[in-house]
Amino acid sequence: MSQRGKKPTRKGHLEDASEVLQSLLAKGKGPLAQSFTRWKLWSNWDKVVGPSMAAHSAPVDYNKGCLIVWVDSSVRLQEMVFLVRQLREQINNFVGRQWIRSIRFTLDRHHVPQAGEAPESWNQLFNSGSKGSNLR
């Protein structure tokens, strides 16, 4: 029998589009991938640093390996300075790669995003479409 008569067999399985996109963004180094990583960290901040610390801080900016974290008081800021190595390790573990080289803290609330600021399309795509997946 010739090869033309056979049906091609597929190896593998279909993946959800959001899983494919998350995988590409999590491994990438471009501006979109960096924005996705920042958004994922911001939306999971309480899981990364713990609810007590998250209640008084938020990641507000990222530039070339430096994460800027807003803190609500100078006392909390000093506490976080003492924990900077641990925080950097926790964040890099969450992201799944050496993403953060340094962390700077600020008391300036001007750039702190609010809970509803993530685009709804991103929330729907990455929260409802992924079954418990994250950047790991």
Burial class from Cβ neighbours inside 10 Å (0-12, 13-18, 19+) for residue 18 reads: middle
Question: Under DSSP, is residue 73 helix (H, G, I), strand (E, B) or coil?
Answer: coil
Residue 1 falls inside a structural domain: no
One-letter amino acid for residue 117 of the chain:
E
pLDDT reported for residue 135: 40
pLDDT reported for residue 74: 94
9-33 pLDDT, tens digit each: 656 666 677 666 666 666 666 667 7
Please give the average per-residue pLDDT across 26-52, as a whole number: 82
Q: Is it the case that residue 120 has pLDDT exceeding 70?
A: no
List Cα–Cα distances, 101 to 23, 44, 65, 66, 121, in angstroms.
22, 19, 5, 6, 30
Residue 38 falls inside a structural domain: yes
pLDDT reported for residue 46: 94
One-letter amino acid for residue 26 of the chain:
A
Residue 27 falls inside a structural domain: yes
Residue 100 falls inside a structural domain: yes
57-105 pLDDT, tens digit each: 999 888 889 999 999 999 999 999 999 999 999 999 999 889 999 999 9
Residue 5 falls inside a structural domain: no
48-60 pLDDT, tens digit each: 999 999 999 999 8
| Number of compact structural domains in the chain | 1
Please give the average per-residue pLDDT across 35-47, as a whole number: 88
Question: Under DSSP, is residue 33 helix (H, G, I), strand (E, B) or coil?
Answer: helix
Residue 80 falls inside a structural domain: yes
Question: Under DSSP, is residue 69 helix (H, G, I), strand (E, B) or coil?
Answer: strand
Residue 99 falls inside a structural domain: yes
Which range marks the domain in which residue 23 is found?
A: 16-113+121-128
At 64, which CATH number? 3.30.300.180
With 0.75 as the threshold, say if the pTM is over it. no
pLDDT reported for residue 26: 60
**What is the average pLDDT score of the chain?**
77
Beta strands in the chain (DSSP E): 57-63, 66-71, 102-106
